[in-house]
Amino acid sequence: MNPLAGVLGESWQLYRTYARHLLSIAAIVYVIAAIVSAILELAGSRIGTLLGLLVTIVAAFLLTAALVKAVQDVRDGTVNLSVGETLSAATPLIGPVAIAAILAAIVITIGFAAFIIPGLFLVTILCLIVPAIVIEGASPLDSFKRSWQLVKGHFWNVFGILCVVFLVLFAVDIVLWLIFSPLPNFIGHFLSSVVGGTLVAPFIAVVTTLMYGRLSGATVGAGPGGYGNQGPYGQSGPSGGPGGYGNQGAYQQYGPSDGPGGYGNPGAYQQSGPSGGPGGYGNPGPYGQSGPSGGPGGYGNQGPYAQ
C-alpha cells in the first residue's frame, strides 16, 4: 500500500482546520521581515540592501522551521504551542536549517545547470531535510541522508506530489500578480511577496511534514488481527488487536505490548520495550538497564551488560 495515498487531501484538510494558527505564524514573520528589509533598502546604500537581503534570508529559515514545528504540534488535533512559543522553539534551529538549505540550494542549482533531470531528482530526494532537522534533530548533513532514506522507495509518489504543489503555487502567483499588478511596482511587489508567502509557505510545510510523518513510519493502533496504522509524531503506537502484531514505537519512546499470544514490540532507542502478552517473549532491555520480564509462561528478557 502506498503510504502517501491521500496525503494532499489530508494536507488541505489540516491547512484549512488550522489556517488561522499557521497563517498567523507566517504573516508575523513575513510582515516584520518585509518591513525591516524595505526600510533598509530605502536607505539607498549598498550595505542597507545587503542587510535587507540578510534579514529576508534569516526570516525565511526561521519561518520554515517554525511552520514544520507548528504542523508537528497540531497533528494530534490540539494546538499546544502558541505563536510565540512556536517561534521560540524554532529559533535555535535557524542555523542547522540554514546550512542544510544553502547546501541543498547549491547542489540543486548545479543539478539544474548540468541538466534539468538531475535538478528535479535532487529537489525530490532532498525535500524532507527540514522536517528531519526539526522533528528528529538531525544534523544538516545527516538530514540529506535521512531525506534520501525516506524518499528512495517512494520516489515517483513524492515527485508527483511535489509537481501538484508546484502547480498550485504557480496558480496562486498568477492570481496575486493579477490582483496587485495595477499598483505601483514597489507596493505591488511588497504586497505580493507578503500575501503569497503567508498563504503558500504553510501549505508547503504541511505537505512536507505529513510526507515525512508517513514515510518515517510513526504508528497508531491496528484493529483485531491487523497491522498498525500511521500515527502522530513523537508518540508510541498502541498495541495491535488480539493475535495481531504490535506497532513499533516512535523515536525515543517504546511500543506497547501485543495482544494475547503476540510478540513484544521492539523498544525504541535508549528505552526498554514492554513485555510480550501472555505466553509471549520478553523484549531485550537497553544497554545499561535491565529488560522487563516476559508475560506468564514466557522467557525473561536479556539483562544489560555488566549486570
Residue 125's pLDDT is 96
| 156 phi, psi to nearest 5 deg | -70, -30
Q: Is residue 164 scored above 80 in pLDDT?
A: yes
Q: How far apart are CA 49 and CA 107, in angstroms?
A: 26
41 pLDDT more than 80:
no
Percent of the chain with pLDDT over 90: 48
CA atoms within 13 A on the CB side of 30: 21
pTM above 0.75, yes or no: no
Pick from 79-93, 143-157, 243-257: least confident: 243-257
Least confident span in 17-21, 91-95, 178-182, 277-281: 277-281
pLDDT of residue 104: 93
> What is the average per-residue pLDDT within 222-235?
35
Asked if residue 39 has pLDDT above 50, the reply is yes
Percent of the chain with pLDDT over 70: 70
pLDDT in tens, 180-203: 988 888 788 878 888 988 999 999
* CA 135 to chain CA mean position, Å: 6
Is the pLDDT score of 258 beyond 70?
Answer: no
pLDDT, residue 194, reads 84
Mean pLDDT, the chain, rounded, equals 75
**pLDDT exceeds 70 at position 270:** no
pLDDT of residue 238: 38
For the segment 128-159, what is each residue's pLDDT rounded down to a tens digit?
999 999 999 999 999 999 999 999 989 999 99
Kindly list the domain boundaries of the chain, sorted by start residue.
14-216, 224-307
User: Of 70, 88, 82, 83, which Cα lies nearest the Cα of 15?
Assistant: 70
Residue 237 has pLDDT above 70, yes or no: no
Is the confidence at residue 233, as pLDDT, over 60? no
Indicate if the pLDDT at residue 35 is higher than 60: yes
Residue 232: the pLDDT is 39
Given a cut of 70, is residue 295 above it in pLDDT? no
Span 37-57, mean pLDDT?
80
